[in-house]
């Protein structure tokens, strides 16, 4: 038998979550964001659940090529654009759309030999201050792109830093309107948080990522409790050992948990080398035989301990859900001082993943 840990990608949940996006932004087209190997789900495994999208957005040229090889003939957007002139050969061959965020990229396009017009998303920096033209320089860049024969459609784009938080989007939306004033063309602004919580940003294309996977854009599970989103990944394992601790006994490295009274613990085949966060403290939610309980002690490389007080029937071989329908990935992330995004992306290569 292989080690009992595995992850499952829920195809129906992906399709459901895409339908939630459609309901939230009924007049917009959808770039389904599948960067980072579809947020750790695997591009090929996520593709069937998301194929009703209008386009896919990602970062790596080889991910784009893999998507074409899976049979996707529709739009593909490279969210960071391209990096070297040689990239444009692949962009051209596979008919990809690119983000353009600086003059170096425009220069590369101007001197490239392309077989068809290149569709670009011209990126405005409205306050994130990573990539893009400032509102003041945007029109000049747009004029230059418009007069570049190799460029076809130009979509106006920006990206929000605080769509999930207190600062919101208003300041960036105002900057965008200023920079794009009087410029015709489709617009794309909204990530998941803006798709869910800022309808005024939807425009022509929304760009949801984490919500497609049932993750909360704010990192707080309760924020999406009534959204209809479903977790698209379950990380599961089994109990491989049982320990009965007396009062005063400890478990795991550093003796981080001391039993106050006799307690029955299960040892789970899952550790930080599987992608479970090492920072998960005692009390992190986990489910055994579908019943929620808590982890105890420090997460080791290959194992964690779980409190079986509330699951007296569970022994070796009992089912354990690290995250999934009973324990949201955001709860585990929050307990561990990170976000669901990171946990999804960090499932380790040694964990077998299948789609259902
Ligand atoms: C990752 C990304 C998104 C999706 O973000 P989520 O918060 O996962 O919805 C949208 N647009 C761009 C440019 C991105 O890089």
Q: Which two tokens stand for residue 143?
A: 């004029």
Segment 321-344 shows an average pLDDT of 98
Q: Is the CB of 38 under 6 A from ligand 1?
A: no
Determine the 3-state secondary structure of 337 from DSSP: coil
| C-alpha 142 to ligand 1 mean position (Å) | 23
pLDDT digits (tens, 9 = 90+) for 116-150: 999 999 999 999 999 999 999 999 999 999 999 99
Domains of the chain: 11-215 (3.20.20.10), 233-355 (2.40.37.10)
DSSP bridge pairs for 187: 156
Share of the chain above pLDDT 70, in %: 100
143-180 pLDDT, tens digit per residue, is 999 999 999 999 999 999 999 999 999 999 999 999 99
Q: What is the DSSP letter of 228?
A: -
325 alpha carbon to ligand 1 midpoint, in Å?
Answer: 24
Q: How much distance in Å is there from the Cα of 125 to the middle of ligand 1?
A: 15
User: How much is the pLDDT for 164?
Assistant: 97
Nearest C-alpha to atom 13 of ligand 1 is from which residue?
79
Ligand 1 lined by 208 (C-beta under 6 Å): yes
Q: What confidence tier does 2 reach under pLDDT thresholds 50, 70, 90?
A: confident
209 pocket-lining for ligand 1 (C-beta < 6 Å): yes
* Residue 1: predicted pLDDT: 75
**Residue 157 Cβ contacting ligand 1 at under 6 Å:** no
301 is in an annotated binding site: yes
pTM reported for the whole predicted model: 0.97
Averaged pLDDT score across all residues of the chain? 97
Q: pLDDT for 198-257, tens place per residue?
A: 999 999 999 999 999 999 999 999 999 999 999 999 999 999 999 999 999 999 999 999
Residue 191: CB within 6 Å of ligand 1?
Answer: yes
Residue nearest atom 1 in ligand 1 by C-alpha distance: 209
Phi, psi at residue 248, to the nearest 5°?
95, -15
Q: What is the pLDDT of residue 87?
A: 97
Question: pLDDT value at position 126?
Answer: 98
Q: Write out pLDDT tens, residues 209-222.
A: 999 999 999 999 99
Taking every pair of Cα atoms in the chain, the longest distance, rounded to a whole number of angstroms, is 77
The secondary structure of 143-200 as a DSSP string is HHHHT-TTEEEEEEEE--SSTTSTT-SHHHHHHHHHHTTT--S-EE---HHHHHH-GG
Buried b (16+ CB within 10 A) or exposed e, 223-262: bbeebebbbbbbbbbbbbeeeebeeeeebbeeeebebeee
Tell me which residues are annotated as active site.
35, 253
The residues, any chain, with a CB within 8 Å of residue 249's CB and separated by 6 or more, are 258, 259
344 is in an annotated binding site: no
């Amino acid at each position: 038998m292989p080690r009992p840990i595995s992850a499952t990608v829920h195809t129906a949940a992906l399709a459901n979550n895409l339908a939630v996006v459609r309901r939230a932004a009924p007049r917009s087209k959808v770039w389904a964001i599948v960067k980072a190997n579809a947020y750790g789900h695997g591009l090929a495994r996520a593709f069937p659940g998301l194929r009703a999208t209008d386009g896919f957005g990602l970062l790596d040229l080889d991910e784009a090529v893999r998507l074409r090889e899976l049979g996707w003939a529709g739009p593909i957007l490279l969210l960071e654009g391209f990096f070297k002139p040689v990239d444009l050969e692949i962009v051209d061959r596979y008919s990809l759309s690119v983000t353009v965020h600086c003059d170096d990229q425009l220069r590369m396009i101007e001197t490239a030999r392309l077989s068809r017009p290149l569709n670009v998303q011209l990126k405005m920096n409205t306050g994130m201050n990573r990539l893009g033209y400032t509102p003041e320089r945007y029109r000049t860049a747009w004029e230059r792109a418009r007069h570049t024969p190799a460029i076809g459609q130009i979509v106006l784009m920006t990206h929000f830093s605080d769509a999930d938080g207190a600062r919101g989007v208003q300041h960036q939306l105002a900057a965008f309107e200023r920079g794009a004033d009087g410029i015709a063309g489709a617009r794309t602004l909204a990530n998941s948080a803006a798709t869910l919580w800022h309808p005024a940003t939807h425009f022509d294309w929304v760009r949801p990522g984490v919500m497609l996977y049932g993750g909360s854009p704010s990192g707080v599970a309760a924020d999406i409790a009534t959204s209809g989103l479903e977790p698209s990944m379950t990380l599961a394992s089994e109990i491989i050992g049982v320990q009965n601790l007396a009062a005063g006994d400890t478990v795991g490295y550093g003796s981080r948990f001391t039993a106050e009274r006799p307690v029955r613990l299960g040892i789970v085949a899952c550790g930080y080398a599987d992608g479970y966060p090492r920072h998960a403290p005692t009390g992190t939610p986990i489910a055994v035989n579908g019943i929620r309980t808590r982890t105890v002690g420090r997460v080791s490389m290959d194992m964690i301990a779980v409190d079986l007080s509330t699951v007296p029937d569970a022994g070796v071989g009992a089912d354990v859900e690290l995250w999934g329908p009973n324990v949201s990935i955001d709860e585990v992330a929050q307990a561990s001082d990170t976000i669901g995004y990171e946990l999804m992306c960090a499932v380790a290569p040694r964990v077998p993943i299948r789609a259902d």
